[in-house]
Amino acid sequence: MSDKKADLAGPGIGSYEEIAQILPDDYKSLLNKKDTQKAIYEVKHYISENLCKELNLMMVEVPLIVDEESGVNDMLDRDGSRTPVTFHIKNDYGKNPIEAQVVQAATKWKRVALKQFSMQPGEGLCTDMRAVRKDYFLDHDHSAYVDQWDWEKTITDKDRNLAYLKDTVKKIWKVLKGAETYAQELFPALKNPRYPDLPEELVFLHAEEILQMYPDLPRKQRETEILQKYPAVFIIGIGWTLADGFPHEMRAADYDDWVTETKSDRGMVTHGINGDILVWNPVTKRRHELSSMGIRVNAETLRTQLEMTGQLDLLSTPYHSGIINNELPLSIGGGIGQSRTLMHILKKAHLGEVSVTVWPKILKDMCADKNIFVLE
């Protein structure tokens, strides 16, 4: 049995020898270089427009850098393994300096922005978010440069339940499925029998249920197995400690609510009102995560989760005290990976085919040998 603890964060890939096995040997892009670029912008526009329409969102500007003292940057996991790029802004000859960070995600900033823009229940915002995650292992679908449709929506206390979460997921899935159909209408070559389309619906499963199905497998392998059965799933309860003593995956304690008690469709008592959308990638023949989202913590669950992770010191920051004092609105939100989604819809083997960023020479050479064109 593989080490479950080692599998709690990151892509589950630890070497370029493994990536060499993942990248297909018989790959040929369905679109040429120019059509790929055209398709990228068509799909981006479709998803931005229809996501806002389905969820009642408006597009807003989003920061690339934030003040370290604000507490709004995303630490991604709760084990301290992924830290943001931090730099000193001297400013005013050093008299009024700023300690700044490059955002890793806009998760917490968006909730503050809901208040800033006076978003009422049922209203929300969407951003064209860019971030840097310097501690990622760079493989076929993880890069140091991150792009997302990052969205957040004001809700009421009665919306903080599994039914509301699922209804929102279904609306997002409608947009993603629609984007695939739209891309194939514009570029018929994308309709290829080698690569099945996304299913019309996805399956909802709690992480605890998947653990029961595959108790001896670590997380990534459990996801791989379940996606053989259901090619699109929403895994609920990311962050809660499961029956084997480990969470399905590490999740920060200060945005998604992973402690609220719920009940699965099959009657199991579970925890968490958050989750991830995963699909089967027929090109790489692997799991492929498209989105992470959830109903956010309220004052009670924030304190509970920070107690569980030993991070109560965070309550002194403006963001965290804003939740504790009920100054920030209740919300639901998430991020949809732009390049990840494009990679899947355009049937690409590597993220670098749809995103311009840095890659190690060993990976670029590997892609070149396998007929995979990486943008530079």
Residues serving a catalytic function are 74, 133, 148, 276, 289, 292
- Alpha helix positions (H), 92-132: 107-116
- Dihedral (C-alpha) 299, 304, 309, 315: value to the nearest 10 degrees? 30
Side-chain-facing half-sphere of 312: CA atoms under 13 Å: 6
Residues 113 and 117: their CA atoms lie apart, in Å, by 6
Q: What is the chain's length?
A: 376
Angle formed at CA 149 by CA 295 and CA 250, multiple of 5 degrees: 50
Burial of 196 per CB tally in 10 Å (0-12, 13-18, 19+): exposed
Q: Count H helices, E strands: the chain?
A: 10, 13
Helix then strand then coil, % of the chain, to nearest 5: 40, 20, 40
| Contact of 68 with 86, CB cutoff 8 Å | yes
Q: For the beta carbon of residue 214, count every other beta carbon within 10 angstroms.
A: 15
